[in-house]
């Protein structure tokens, strides 16, 4: 019997974690832009990073610190990605880690650093250095919301999820915080996510559980198909719950993994719902593909089609554009077998128009959240992607950012 996962109405940090958030002046106007998250004791950690070949300086540094296996703290700034800043960017990322380490009595290699915001603008690292003692001083077990607000960029809402499970009779909390509203694409996005848990977890278990949970959550969302230079998901397990370290294949592992996956999936959904200009949350479900890989191709091709996304924005059940994107996805397809459903109602059957009335189909696509099911009917491959519409609001938001931010130059 699967153990129930309790999602907390008021998310809290797991035992042995403290967090803080404040304004250090990168964004200006007193907006929070510096967050810190610390485990009181050494934590077992694993992280996944952007697969973009252009990686931000903090990503490159954090990849090395992760390998060191000693992480205990995370320092995050928003408002500047510290990406494409050359050697100065690499130095600035190290200065960030040093500032956090000096202020908290940790070693540099125990600090994981993340930056999110504009690409190609030098990081005003001195502001972070100046603020580091203050952010360390304000760390507290109740600092989750402050932290979650400090890491946001174009997000409209903060994104926090807490799940509670029982492992060997001990209460375990898994809490995730994420940011990211544009540049959302499969295989990570302009998104940061920090998952903390007081469970004790073995190194092998945290690696495998993290990779699996990311694959089924953050790597299954797409807003605009752009993949950023800074994406990072970090999982920290500090063992404060007092359970025996969870190992792969154990009963505790099954419970832990399902809760970790649930927390990440809830965060991933929040990312899509809060995407730039998003007015619809759409689940694309592909069934009957010749392979899992083909199912993924089809789902992503449909999720990234501008024409399809525009039609959803207009509440238009345009299955012709969907089947067109299926056709150019690269997956094996037999036109006469393709069924397409909107909210469970057939738009197309056997590759041609179904008998459902347009009024009913339109009603299904008019909802704020609906599922598009594509059954290729030629195999057993399945895949799901969570995505959004493409709105005039998305364009209006993204046509301006860079020059505005640099207008002082």
What stretch of H or E contains 195? strand 192-197
The single residue among 159, 257, 262, 321 that binds its own copies, judged by CB under 8 A, is 321
Give me the active site residues, please. 190
Find the binding residues for its own copies in span 13-72 (CB under 8 A). 51-55
* DSSP E strands, 51-191: 73-78, 111-116, 159-167, 170-179
Looking at 30-38, 142-150, 160-168, 223-231, which segment touches its own copies (CB under 8 A)?
Answer: 223-231
The single residue among 119, 131, 172, 178 that binds its own copies, judged by CB under 8 A, is 119
The single residue among 120, 141, 242, 379 that binds its own copies, judged by CB under 8 A, is 120
Which residues are within 8 A (CB) of 216 and not within 5 positions of it... i.e. 6 or more apart? 261, 264, 265
The single residue among 151, 303, 374, 390 that binds its own copies, judged by CB under 8 A, is 390
Q: Using the minimum distance from each CB to its own copies, give the nearer residue, 42 or 320.
A: 320
Q: Using the minimum distance from each CB to its own copies, give the nearer residue, 1 or 400.
A: 400
Closest approach of Cβ 409 to its own copies, in Å? 5
Task: Please report which residue ranges of 229-357 form alpha helices under DSSP H.
Answer: 251-273, 292-303, 306-313, 319-327
Q: Using the minimum distance from each CB to its own copies, give the nearer residue, 13 or 333.
A: 333
Tokens of 327: 């056709």
- Is 115 near its own copies (CB under 8 A)? no
Closest approach of Cβ 177 to its own copies, in Å? 24
Tokens of 84: 């494409």
Tokens of 256: 């832990």
Closest approach of Cβ 318 to its own copies, in Å? 4
The single residue among 147, 319, 342, 386 that binds its own copies, judged by CB under 8 A, is 319
Q: Sheet of 170-179: strands edge to edge? A: 6-7, 159-167, 170-179, 192-197, 232-237, 44-49
Find the binding residues for its own copies in span 255-294 (CB under 8 A). none
* Closest-CA residue to 177 (of 240, 261, 254, 266): 266
Numbers of helices and strands, H then E, in the chain: 12, 17
- Build a one-symbol-per-residue string for 72-91: x at contacts with its own copies by CB under 8 A, - elsewhere: ---------x-xxxx-xx--
Find the binding residues for its own copies in span 224-243 (CB under 8 A). 224-229
Q: Give me the phi and psi of 392, to 5 degrees please.
A: -60, -30
Closest approach of Cβ 190 to its own copies, in Å? 9
Looking at 94-102, 116-124, 141-149, 254-262, which segment touches its own copies (CB under 8 A)?
Answer: 116-124
Find the binding residues for its own copies in span 329-368 (CB under 8 A). 331-333, 335-336, 338, 348, 350-353, 357-358, 362
The single residue among 23, 63, 118, 363 that binds its own copies, judged by CB under 8 A, is 118
Q: How many residues bind its own copies (CB under 8 A)?
A: 77
Find the binding residues for its own copies in span 147-186 (CB under 8 A). 182-183, 185
* Closest-CA residue to 99 (of 134, 55, 67, 63): 134
**Pairing mode, strands 73-78 and 34-39:** antiparallel
Closest approach of Cβ 398 to its own copies, in Å? 4
Q: Using the minimum distance from each CB to its own copies, give the nearer residue, 5 or 310.
A: 310
Q: Are 230 and 63 in contact (CB under 8 A)?
A: no
DSSP conformation class of 80:
B
CA distance 268 to 14: 20
Q: Using the minimum distance from each CB to its own copies, give the nearer residue, 59 or 260.
A: 59
The single residue among 70, 320, 377, 379 that binds its own copies, judged by CB under 8 A, is 320
Q: How many residues does the chain have?
A: 409
Using only C-alpha atoms, what is the Rg of the chain?
A: 22
CA distance 352 to 323: 10
Q: Using the minimum distance from each CB to its own copies, give the nearer residue, 81 or 236.
A: 81
Q: Give me the phi and psi of 292, to 5 degrees please.
A: -60, -40
Find the binding residues for its own copies in span 182-211 (CB under 8 A). 182-183, 185
Q: Are 180 and 192 in contact (CB under 8 A)?
A: yes
* Closest-CA residue to 384 (of 272, 261, 284, 270): 284
Q: Using the minimum distance from each CB to its own copies, give the nearer residue, 15 or 303.
A: 303
Q: Using the minimum distance from each CB to its own copies, give the nearer residue, 40 or 226.
A: 226
Find the binding residues for its own copies in span 287-316 (CB under 8 A). 304-307, 310-311, 313-316
């Amino acid at each position: 019997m699967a153990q129930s996962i309790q999602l907390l109405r008021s998310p809290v940090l797991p035992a042995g974690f403290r967090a803080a958030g404040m304004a250090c002046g990168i964004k200006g106007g007193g907006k929070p832009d510096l967050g810190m998250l610390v485990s009181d004791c050494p934590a077992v950690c694993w992280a996944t990073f952007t697969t973009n070949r252009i990686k931000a300086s903090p990503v490159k540094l954090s990849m090395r610190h992760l390998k060191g296996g000693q992480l205990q703290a995370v320092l995050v700034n928003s408002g500047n990605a510290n990406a494409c800043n050359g050697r100065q960017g690499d130095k600035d990322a190290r200065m960030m880690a040093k500032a956090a380490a000096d202020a908290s009595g940790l070693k540099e290699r125990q600090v994981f650093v993340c930056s999110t915001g504009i690409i190609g603008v030098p990081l005003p690292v001195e502001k972070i250095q100046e603020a580091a003692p203050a952010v360390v001083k304000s760390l507290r077990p109740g600092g989750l919301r402050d932290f979650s607000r400090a890491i946001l960029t174009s997000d409209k809402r903060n994104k926090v999820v807490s799940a509670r499970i029982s492992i060997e009779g001990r209460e375990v909390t898994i809490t995730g915080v994420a940011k990211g509203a544009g540049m959302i694409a499969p295989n990570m996005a302009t998104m940061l996510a920090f998952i903390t848990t007081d469970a004790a977890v073995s190194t092998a278990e945290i690696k495998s559980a993290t990779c699996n949970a990311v694959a089924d959550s953050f790597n299954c969302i797409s807003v605009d198909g752009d993949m950023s230079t800074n994406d990072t998901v970090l999982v920290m397990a500090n063992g404060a719950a007092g359970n025996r370290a969870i190992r792969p294949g154990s009963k505790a592992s099954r419970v832990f993994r399902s809760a970790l996956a649930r927390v990440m999936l809830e965060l991933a959904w929040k990312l899509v719902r809060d995407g730039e200009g998003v007015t619809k949350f759409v689940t694309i479900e592909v069934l009957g593909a010749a392979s899992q890989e083909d199912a993924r191709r089809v789902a992503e091709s449909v999720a990234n089609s501008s024409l399809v996304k525009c039609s959803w924005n207009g509440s238009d059940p345009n299955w012709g554009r969907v089947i067109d994107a299926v056709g150019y996805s690269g997956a094996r397809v037999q036109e006469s077998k393709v069924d397409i459903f909107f909210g469970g109602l057939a738009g197309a059957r056997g590759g041609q128009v179904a008998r459902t009335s347009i009024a009913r189909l339109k009603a299904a696509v008019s909802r704020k959240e609906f599922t598009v099911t594509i059954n290729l009917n030629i195999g057993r491959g399945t895949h799901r992607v969570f995505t959004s519409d493409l709105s005039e609001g998305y364009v209006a938001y993204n046509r301006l950012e860079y020059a505005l931010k640099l207008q002082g130059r």
